[in-house]
Amino acid sequence: MAITSANQLELLQTAEAVAREKMIDPGLVVEAMEESLARAAKSRYGAEMDIRVAIDRKTGKATFTRVRTVVADEELENYQAEFTVEQAREYLENPAIGDQFIEEVPPVDMGRIAAQSAKQVILQKVREAERDRQFEDFKDRAGTIINGLVKREEYGNVIVDVGRGEAILRRNEKIGREAYRAGDRIRVYIKDVRREVRGPQIFLSRTAPEFMAELFKMEVPEIYDGIIEIKAVARDPGSRAKIAVISYDSSIDPVGACVGMRGSRVQAVVNELQGEKIDIIPWNEDIPTFLVNALQPAEVSKVVFDEDAERVEVVVPEEQLSLAIGRRGQNVRLASQLTGLDIDIMTEVEESARRQKDFEERTQLFMDTLDLDEFFAQLLVSEGFTNLEEVAYVEKGELLVIDGVDESTAEELQTRAREHLEAEAKAALEQARELGVTDTLIAFEGLTPQMLVALGKDGVKTLEDFATCADWELAGGWTTEKGERVKDDGLLEPFDVSLEEAQDMVMTARIVLGWVDPEDLKADEVETEEEAGA
């Protein structure tokens, strides 16, 4: 195949046809042709030569040129594509390093192998251009809903034609046991678009919580306009879901707007999600109130919220327990996902039994440590005293309000409590020394003798050991393993040391040891404040 005047125009016509079919720039196809012709020419003239081909975009004429570049003497490696300044004087006037000498060479006749090679180059370039165009088309559409046509199913994964390319709906992203046949229309959520070696990969989903949110946005104009906002979504795909909404217009009921007239709006979403039942819940900034809403249709008697642990205890009537938990724990699991909290559910009977147990334990504590009879110990517990520290250091007036407690009785109670605490502290300090805890750690402000014992048992015996501890090792925390939150017990957690207090103590220890410069900390704080202000 020779590039002659007879087929010069055919090059442009071919490029136009391919570009139109693949919906890419015709210039990219022409560039691919230029590269393929240059490769064929190199096989004819020599692989080391720098042969270039330029196709005129109007006439289709292909011009073959050989390029030689001027290089320094010591850099000369390729004698076919490079020459020195001295050698270049024969072709160029006043040559300098970097100058090029370009001469036209005769077009080549492309044999069968060269033509096949050229065809492969063109196809490869066209595929790359097609992938780039597809990625550009879809990279900004992640997080939106698209309609597609099912092409085929491979190992449970559905390949979907999305117009200018193919996308994949993995089997774990399908609702329940959905089955599709070639030609079925499907509505899906674009979960992710990634550029990979084999081309852009478009990942679809029908189980993502965002899919439900986008469906509601399509069905409820108030959500699209921003009057109503979807604050959280939790799904058990194909079975049940909870969605929390809030209205920024006091005259519009967010739940009613999402349900629609006679349930028309929510029913449209339910039908798309294969009959998935949807609970629409009003959002509330007050977490206990929001949690009560999230556990609907169960009725809640009481909510106890532990903000530090992000954990909630919910008390429900006995007859509401199964409803609150739901089938296979579905209701409480969705409520937990919706609120982002760990939820413990107990009946009123269980909660009463636990409170009774706590009451008895505190009563026994006061009986044993303060040498009180049961009735008097119960009076202390009933007034809200939970430990010896409260009795020892509380304002005397708070003891005097208890029936039967006068000035001298209050003083005696506080004296007994302080003496017991001092005896405990002395014993704990001796135990800490036996464990090998050093004076530098004992003298560190903020650590009680009981804390020193806990640290010593775990091998933290010097101030240096303490300074290397992480805050969560001291105060405890939560980590997520395999999708479940797991509790990490802290060494000082039994002493109610918060994460912030642990951070302060560790940082103070590092400053005392000279590991950290206080001035650097101040500079970091100023920088953080400036960033927050910006």
Dihedral sign for Cα 134, 140, 142, 143, please.
negative
DSSP 275: T
Contacts of 328 (CB under 8 A, 6+ apart): none
For residue 137, which of 107, 167, 92, 173 has the smallest C-alpha distance? 167
CATH 3.30.300.20 boundaries in the chain: 230-259+275-344
230-244, 318-332, 472-486: range with lowest mean pLDDT: 472-486
- Residue whose entry in the numeric block shows the structure tokens 């240059």: 38
For residue 496, which of 446, 459, 460 has the smallest C-alpha distance? 446
Contacts of 211 (CB under 8 A, 6+ apart): 145, 188, 189, 205
Q: What is the pLDDT of residue 461?
A: 92
As a whole-number percent, the residues of the chain with pLDDT over 70 amount to 85
Residue pair 160/188 in contact by the 8 Å Cβ criterion:
yes
Task: Supply φ then ψ for residue 234, to 5 degrees.
Answer: -130, 135
Mean of the per-residue pLDDT values for the chain? Answer: 81
**230-259+275-344 belongs to which homologous superfamily?**
K homology (KH) domain (3.30.300.20)
**5-133 belongs to which homologous superfamily?**
NusA, N-terminal domain (3.30.1480.10)
Label each residue of 455-524 as H, E or C.
HHHCCCCCHHHHHCCCHHHHHCEEEEECCEEEEECCCCHHHCCCHHHHHHHHHHHHHHCCCCCHHHHHHH
24-28, 152-156, 369-373: range with lowest mean pLDDT: 24-28
User: By 3-state DSSP, what share of the chain in percent is helix, strand and coil, each rounded to 5?
Assistant: 50, 20, 30
Contacts of 386 (CB under 8 A, 6+ apart): 362
Q: What is the pLDDT of residue 3?
A: 42
Contacts of 37 (CB under 8 A, 6+ apart): 3, 53, 55, 62, 64, 108, 110, 118
49-73 confidence digits (pLDDT tens): 888 888 777 777 778 888 888 888 7
* CA 175 from centre of chain: 23
Distance (Å, whole) CA 203 – CA 107? 47
409-442 confidence digits (pLDDT tens): 888 888 998 898 899 989 999 999 999 999 999 9
Inform me whether the pLDDT recorded for 18 exceeds 70: no
Inform me whether the pLDDT recorded for 328 exceeds 50: yes
| Range 142-205: architecture per CATH | Beta Barrel (2.40)
| Residue type at position 290 | F
Residue pair 212/310 in contact by the 8 Å Cβ criterion:
no
Which of 88 and 429 is assigned the larger pLDDT?
Answer: 429
128-175 confidence digits (pLDDT tens): 766 777 777 777 778 888 888 988 888 878 888 887 778 888 888 888
Long-range CB pairs of 221-227 (<8 Å, 24+ gap) are 222/247, 222/252, 222/254, 222/257, 223/257, 223/258, 227/252
Q: What is the pLDDT of residue 121?
A: 65
Distance (Å, whole) CA 239 – CA 252? 29
Residue pair 313/301 in contact by the 8 Å Cβ criterion:
no
Q: What is the pLDDT of residue 112?
A: 55
Q: If pLDDT is split at 50, 70 and 90, which confidence band does 524 have?
A: low
Q: What is the pLDDT of residue 522?
A: 64
Inform me whether the pLDDT recorded for 322 exceeds 90: no
CATH 2.40.50.140 boundaries in the chain: 142-205
- Mean predicted confidence (pLDDT) in 322-332: 86
Inform me whether the pLDDT recorded for 122 exceeds 70: no
Using DSSP bridges, classify how beta strands 240-247 and 277-282 pair: parallel, antiparallel or unpaired: parallel
CATH 3.30.1480.10 boundaries in the chain: 5-133
Q: What is the pLDDT of residue 451?
A: 92
443-486 confidence digits (pLDDT tens): 998 899 999 999 999 999 999 999 999 888 888 876 766 656 67
Residue pair 26/19 in contact by the 8 Å Cβ criterion:
yes
